[in-house]
């Protein structure tokens, strides 16, 4: 009998439990969700995010489906004059619209989306013994965000245990002329 669980498994278990009540888009389609998005706004209780949020610009996300129906996510964050590139693999869980990036200990729910204009995504990250960090992101297909979408996003912030002062509306960025990874 196994007496101790590896800490990664433990962290994932607590993530799965913490994220269990997050609602997801009904009849979610990963195929329709794939493609390019811009992060138009974000809210998070991550202390690093709160420190830098007022200077942040919109990032670009490109999502493609792997043969296993997992989400391969490429992010380009504009930092100074350069684009900083990140890549994450979100594996699908038992529930549609719910994904887990085991290595980064991240958990993601696509709370709602109309696929062609916007998506609201919930993320949870667990780092060791620290309290989990929650983030909500408003993704848009176009870089411009309508006041209606922003309003909808603001309505969801308190429903995931965050507050409005944790919100950052991210200004458009000129395309990164150079991408470093
Ligand atoms: C972030 O918010 C979630 C939901 O309210 C909470 O469970 C978590 O402990 C918070 N984390 C921090 C670092 O404040």
> Does residue 10 fall inside a structural domain?
no
For residue 79, what pLDDT is reported?
Answer: 73
For residue 11, what pLDDT is reported?
Answer: 61
Q: Ligand 1 centroid vs 142 CA: distance in angstroms?
A: 30
Domain range enclosing 77: 23-169
> Does residue 163 fall inside a structural domain?
yes
For residue 73, what pLDDT is reported?
Answer: 96
> Does residue 14 fall inside a structural domain?
no
Q: Are 109 and 160 in contact (CB under 8 A)?
A: no
For residue 146, what pLDDT is reported?
Answer: 94
Q: In a mutational test of the pocket of ligand 1, which residue from 134, 157, 164, 166 has the highest number of ligand atoms less than 8 Å from its CB?
A: 134
What's CA 167's distance to the chain center, in Å?
14
Tell me the CATH number at 77.
Answer: 2.40.128.20
φ, ψ (nearest 5 deg) of residue 156: -80, -20
> Does residue 17 fall inside a structural domain?
no
Closest CA to ligand 1's atom 10: 133
For residue 140, what pLDDT is reported?
Answer: 97
Q: Which of 140, 138, 101, 144 is nearest to 122 (CA)?
A: 138
Q: Ligand 1 centroid vs 161 CA: distance in angstroms?
A: 7
The model's pTM is: 0.86
For residue 1, what pLDDT is reported?
Answer: 47
Residue-wise over 14-23: b if at least 16 C-beta within 10 A, else e? Answer: ebbeebeebe
Residues 6+ apart with CB under 8 A from 17: none
> Does residue 86 fall inside a structural domain?
yes
Instruction: Print pLDDT tens along the chain (181 aa).
Output: 454 556 666 666 665 565 558 999 999 999 999 999 999 999 999 999 999 999 899 999 999 999 999 999 999 988 766 778 999 999 999 899 999 999 889 999 999 999 999 999 999 998 888 899 999 999 999 988 999 999 999 999 999 999 999 999 999 876 555 555 4
For residue 164, what pLDDT is reported?
Answer: 95
> Does residue 181 fall inside a structural domain?
no
Tally of domains within the chain: 1
> Does residue 122 fall inside a structural domain?
yes
> Does residue 5 fall inside a structural domain?
no
Reading the block at residue 73, the tokens are 């996510």
């Amino acid at each position: 009998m196994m007496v101790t669980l590896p800490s990664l498994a433990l962290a994932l278990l607590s993530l799965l439990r913490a994220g269990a009540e997050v609602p997801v888009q009904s009849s979610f389609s990963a195929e329709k969700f794939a493609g390019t998005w811009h992060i138009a706004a974000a809210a998070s209780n991550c202390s690093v995010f709160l420190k830098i949020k007022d200077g942040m610009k919109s990032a670009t996300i490109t999502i493609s489906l792997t043969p296993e129906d997992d989400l391969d996510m490429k992010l380009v964050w504009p930092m100074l004059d350069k684009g900083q590139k990140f890549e994450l693999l979100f594996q699908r869980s038992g529930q549609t619209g719910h994904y887990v990036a085991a290595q980064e200990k991240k958990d993601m729910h696509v709370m709602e989306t109309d696929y062609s204009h916007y998506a609201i995504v919930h993320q949870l990250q667990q780092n060791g013994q620290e309290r989990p960090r929650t983030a909500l992101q408003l993704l848009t297909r176009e870089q411009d965000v309508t006041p209606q979408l922003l309003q909808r996003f603001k309505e969801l912030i308190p429903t995931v245990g965050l507050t409005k002062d944790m919100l950052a509306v991210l200004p458009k960025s000129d395309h990164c002329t150079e991408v470093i990874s």
